[in-house]
Amino acid sequence: MSRVAAVAWFSFRELVRSKLLVVWLLAVGLLCGVAYLLAYLSYGEPLRIFMDLGLAGLEAAGLVVLLLELAVTYNTDMEQKAVFLQLTKPLTRGEYLLGRVVGFWMVNCLVLLGMTLFIGGFIAFHHGQYPLFWVAAALVMIQMFLLTTLGLAYQMIATSMVGTVLFTFFTSILGHTMSQIRWALERKPDPILRFLLNGTYYLLPNLEVFNLKDRLYDPTLTTAALPWGDIALYAFGYSFAAFLVGWWALEKREFH
């Protein structure tokens, strides 16, 4: 575990020191500023609108950070062969991949935590009572762990940076359409379409498991009522399966 922790800390420092951190911070500030402006220019309760836009921006910022991480590290690790410096040490490829997952997720959480504290602090300052906001933000961070693992698995499989970024992006988009895909399957489409929909439904992650934005104002919903066991099991199970696929691809990959 010490070697995994060393890779994770190295990955964290590598990404934090990159110039892209400035881009991330500017994006976070811009998203929060736009959410604040739209909240007070729109009809309705400003705090609710600000919180809804903030949660949407939280998920968008997490995805942007992940895509930038994958783009930058693919160039350095795979194309410039910097991965050799890691794998020549007494370090297995599985330990290397696990350390990268943890390090990437730590950076992602750093950005998400900053946004969460800003939005939550603004709501608390205006005496808003939305305890489920913190739960929704925590679920976004868990979702990002799953997407980080899957994105790095794509990085081990893909042969280009563009492919890695596109696979991760479209997986995130399709992962939020599972209810629509299930609805389409219930309409009994033709066999070819049904085969494609079934493949998408069962292979890609169901990110609606972590989506609390649409249920924040349900008066019957409480923190205790959420299926925490099912959420944790799904997140761990899918992430573990994605990690195994990425590990297998990294073991088979030859660096010339």
Mean pLDDT of 143-162: 90
pLDDT class for 4, splitting at 50, 70, 90?
confident
Alpha helices in the chain (DSSP H): 2-17, 20-41, 46-73, 83-87, 93-125, 132-157, 161-175, 178-186, 191-203, 228-252
Give 241: exposed, middle or buried? Use CB within 10 Å, 0-12, 13-18, 19+: middle
How far is residue 102's CA from residue 144's CA, in Å, rounded to a whole number? 11
Q: Which of 6-10, 44-48, 103-107, 248-252 has the lowest mean pLDDT?
A: 44-48
Nearest to 154 by CA among 94, 40, 226, 242: 242
The pLDDT of residue 40 is 67
CB under 8 A, 24+ apart: contacts of 215-223: 216/51, 216/52, 216/130, 216/132, 216/133, 216/136, 217/48, 221/132, 223/131, 223/132, 223/135
Give 184: exposed, middle or buried? Use CB within 10 Å, 0-12, 13-18, 19+: middle
The pLDDT of residue 51 is 79
Neighbours of 10 (CB within 10 A): 15
Domain count, the chain: 1
What is the percent of the chain where pLDDT is above 70? Answer: 82
Give the structural domain span for 232: 2-252
pLDDT class for 205, splitting at 50, 70, 90?
very high
Which residues fall within 8 angstroms of residue 59, CB to CB, at 6 or more apart? 140, 143
pLDDT class for 198, splitting at 50, 70, 90?
confident
Classified as helix, coil or strand, 176 is coil
Give the count of alpha carbons within 13 A of 249, CB side only: 17
Contact 49, 136 (CB under 8 A): no
pLDDT value at 46 more than 60: yes
pLDDT value at 143 more than 90: yes
Mean pLDDT of 51-61: 82
Instruction: Measure the CA angle with vertex 111, ends 203 and 163; round to 5°.
Output: 40
Which residues fall within 8 angstroms of residue 250, CB to CB, at 6 or more apart? 93, 94, 96, 97, 156
pLDDT value at 194 more than 80: yes
Classified as helix, coil or strand, 76 is helix
Residue type, 178: M
